[in-house]
């Protein structure tokens, strides 16, 4: 609740503005690599030790490393005037997001796209009943989106800055929906892996664009509160998306639930294209508009 907004808000003050978008790309890529390597490393460490106390030792080491890394951060040169904490200041982030239509449209697009296209929650059913690949296949299915996201994040870090960021984001969310539909109807394990790989890669483009856009379009003094609102949207989309997938699967079946989610994602893209023209008009990520 505190670490997430603070971590996001401090990034623009650690790197110069011209390379901020590249910093977000590298940050996203390292996170995805951690998502892939972390469980594997944890399993190897636990297998080597065979003792439950290993978990406590690893957590303590992580906390110590975090403390040392935070201690290396240089003090901020820009001083912001502190204001009295009131209900008005607490709600200022929500009001800012509501008034700033490009931010509202961007984070709500991600909310509804992930809410409807949450096929990942149904991967155990696909692995066991549809693709019949067992536990090892399930592990590969779960790793495919993260692998696609990690490779895409690294590619984005090397590619030139996007010149039509808004349209690119809409296109990638639409691709996310198409990949979800193709995965839903697939009966081939390798094609399903490809669909999930593309799904993860498309989602990473959207994540990077949203992450940069929200930061550069927000004044310094509002970044923490706006980041908190953004994290609420992200958390809600992930958790409610899994609930929606399970609910629709119980009502209509697993494959129809995934198809409905993918079609719903495409519908959201079409509606947001008309409802938030600010998104499609947005060009370069590095251009602040506040």
Q: What distance, in Å, lies between the first and last C-alpha atoms of the chain? A: 26
Mean pLDDT of 242-269: 86
Q: pTM for the full model?
A: 0.79
Condensed to tens digits (0 to 9), the pLDDT of residues 56-92 reads 888 898 889 888 887 877 755 555 555 555 666 667 7
- Looking at residue 272, what is its pLDDT? 92
Domain locations in the chain?
Answer: 3-33+86-281
Query: In the predicted model, is pLDDT for residue 32 greater than 90?
Result: no
* Greatest alpha-carbon span in the chain: 60
Mean pLDDT of 238-252: 79
Residue with the larger pLDDT of the pair 226 and 106: 106
CB 116 within 8 A of CB 238: no
CATH code: domain 3-33+86-281 is 1.20.1250.20
Separation between Cα atoms, residue 290 and residue 285, nearest integer Å = 13
Separation between Cα atoms, residue 88 and residue 91, nearest integer Å = 5
Condensed to tens digits (0 to 9), the pLDDT of residues 133-159 reads 887 788 888 888 888 888 888 888 777
CB 117 within 8 A of CB 180: yes
Separation between Cα atoms, residue 38 and residue 30, nearest integer Å = 11
Query: In the predicted model, is pLDDT for residue 289 greater than 50?
Result: no
- Looking at residue 180, what is its pLDDT? 93
- Of 183, 62, 182, whose CA–CA distance to 125 is shortest? 183
For residue 126, name the pLDDT band (cuts at 50, 70, 90). confident
- Looking at residue 286, what is its pLDDT? 60
Tokens 């690949």 — which residue?
A: 133
């Amino acid at each position: 609740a505190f670490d997430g907004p603070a971590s996001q808000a401090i990034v623009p003050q650690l790197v110069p503005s011209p390379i901020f978008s590249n910093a977000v790309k590298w940050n996203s890529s390292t996170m995805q690599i951690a998502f892939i390597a972390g469980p594997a490393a944890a399993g190897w460490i636990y297998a080597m030790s065979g003792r439950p106390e290993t978990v406590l030792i690893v957590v303590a080491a992580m906390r110590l490393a975090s403390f040392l890394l935070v201690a290396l951060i240089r003090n901020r040169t820009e001083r912001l005037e502190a204001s009295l904490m009131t209900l008005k200041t607490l709600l200022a982030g929500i009001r800012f997001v509501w008034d700033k239509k490009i931010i509202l449209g961007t984070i709500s697009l991600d909310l509804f796209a992930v809410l409807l296209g949450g096929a990942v929650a149904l991967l155990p059913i696909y692995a066991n009943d549809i693709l019949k690949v067992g536990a090892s296949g399930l592990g590969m299915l779960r790793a495919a989106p993260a692998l696609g996201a990690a490779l895409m994040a690294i590619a984005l870090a090397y590619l030139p800055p996007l010149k039509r960021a808004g349209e690119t984001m809409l296109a990638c969310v639409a691709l996310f929906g198409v990949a979800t539909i193709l995965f839903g109807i697939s009966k081939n394990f390798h094609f399903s892996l490809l669909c999930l790989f593309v799904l993860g890669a498309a989602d990473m483009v959207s994540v990077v664009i949203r992450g940069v856009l929200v930061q550069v379009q927000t004044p310094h003094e509002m970044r923490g509160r706006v980041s908190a609102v953004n994290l609420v949207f992200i958390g809600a989309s992930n958790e409610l998306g899994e609930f929606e997938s399970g609910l629709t699967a119980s009502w209509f079946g697993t494959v129809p639930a995934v198809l409905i989610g993918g079609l719903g994602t495409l519908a959201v893209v079409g509606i947001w294209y008309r409802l938030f023209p600010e998104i499609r008009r947005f060009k370069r990520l590095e251009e602040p508009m506040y």
